[in-house]
Amino acid sequence: MDDTTDSLREVTLHNGVSMPTLAFGCAFGDWVGATDFQGFLPEQAWHAVTQALDNGYRAFDGAHVYGTERIVGNVIGQRLATGELTRDDLFITTKLAHPAAPPHINISHRRTWDPDKVDDIAQRVRDDMVATLDDLGFGYVDLLLMHWPGSFGQPTSSDPEFPRKARATIWRTMCELADKGAARAIGVSNFTIDHLRQLSEDVSDPAYRPAINQVEIHPYCRDPELESFCREHGIVVTAYAPFASGAFGLLQDATLVAIAEHHGKTTGQIVLRWHVQSGRTALPKTSKSSRMAENRDIYDFVLSDDEMRRIDALGEGEARRTCPDPSTIL
């Protein structure tokens, strides 16, 4: 075992905040095939989060849109009340929906807003953060992310620059929330290089650059250019859908099977080890207790350079995504 293995359990963000390399994903949904999303199933979260805590998970990745934050807060709150855990033991991530997202996405918004008005957008972000903290039952989150850089489909505004202006407004409001103690770190999700560059130009203070960019990455969906850009700018990349949400037969891939057999591990463990050894953090999600334990058991072996290259090669060519392509957002 390599001496650096234990160091892969955590990463340090550019503002000094440490976060675990693995967090339990709290988006429970109904999928048909690889990309046909039918809706969220928050009722699955209670048992899953309970089992995740029992299996040693202390980092949880949620979002306003998932509809699970009150459940997550209640389950964790029971452990806090008994003294089994303290707030400092936990790392809680949430994501705020883009204000222009359609109503069925913004399921927990408290009032109607005009997504074409900048002042409304800023206030909506503030109100949604208050709602999230109320649902979780915490005074702050460890990481606050902008969930998407914009909305899909036709723009709601006649101003071609509005999507960019909206992102800058959301980000400035998130900076304000962080300054007030509502979040220890802030970042983005599903941002391309263009989105990141624009945000840097619009909010130029380096202290307020994103700490995280959470994007879809798995062996069949890679973006080395984006990852390189993030590394150069001190942005940690987090992989959601690290197993491609079970799609495309990823975990039965012959290359992964061969590497797993060599190490006496599962293909899922090989994929997660590939993620953290590549410098990413990852969000494995499962409702099975045995797999939760398996997913955390990835720090006692090291993939060789050749094995890393073989897994990297699986992502050559067109990316196979389970979520929409962020490059389609202006």
Examine the residue annotation and report whether 66 is marked as an active-site residue of this protein: yes
Smallest CA-to-CA distance from 92 within 33, 170, 195, 23 is with 23
Long-range CB pairs of 74-77 (<8 Å, 24+ gap) are 74/46, 74/137, 75/45, 75/46, 75/49, 75/50, 76/49, 77/137
**Predicted pLDDT at 4:** 47
Q: Which domains does the chain have, with CATH numbers?
A: 6-328 (3.20.20.100)
Beta bridge partners of 18: 12
pTM (predicted TM-score) = 0.92
Q: Which amino acid is at 295?
A: N
pLDDT tens-place values along the chain, 330 residues long: 444 456 789 999 999 999 999 999 998 765 444 455 555 677 788 999 999 999 999 999 999 888 889 999 999 999 999 999 999 999 999 999 766 555 545 544 444 445 556 678 888 899 999 999 999 999 999 999 999 998 766 556 677 788 899 899 999 999 999 999 999 999 999 999 999 999 999 999 989 999 999 999 999 999 999 999 999 999 999 999 999 999 999 999 999 999 999 999 999 999 999 999 999 999 999 999 999 999 999 999 999 999 999 999 999 999 999 999 999 988
User: Which strand (E) or helix (H) includes residue 232?
Assistant: helix 224-232
Angle between helix 224-232 and 193-202 (nearest 10): 30
Structure tokens that stand for 111 in this block: 């009032």
User: Could you tell me if 98 and 148 are in contact, meaning their C-beta atoms sit under 8 angstroms apart?
Assistant: yes
Catalytic site residue from 57, 66, 208, 299: 66
Rg (CA), the chain: 19
Q: Could you tell me how far CA 145 lies from the centroid of its own chain?
A: 8
**Predicted pLDDT at 155:** 58
Angle between helix 45-54 and 69-82 (nearest 10): 40
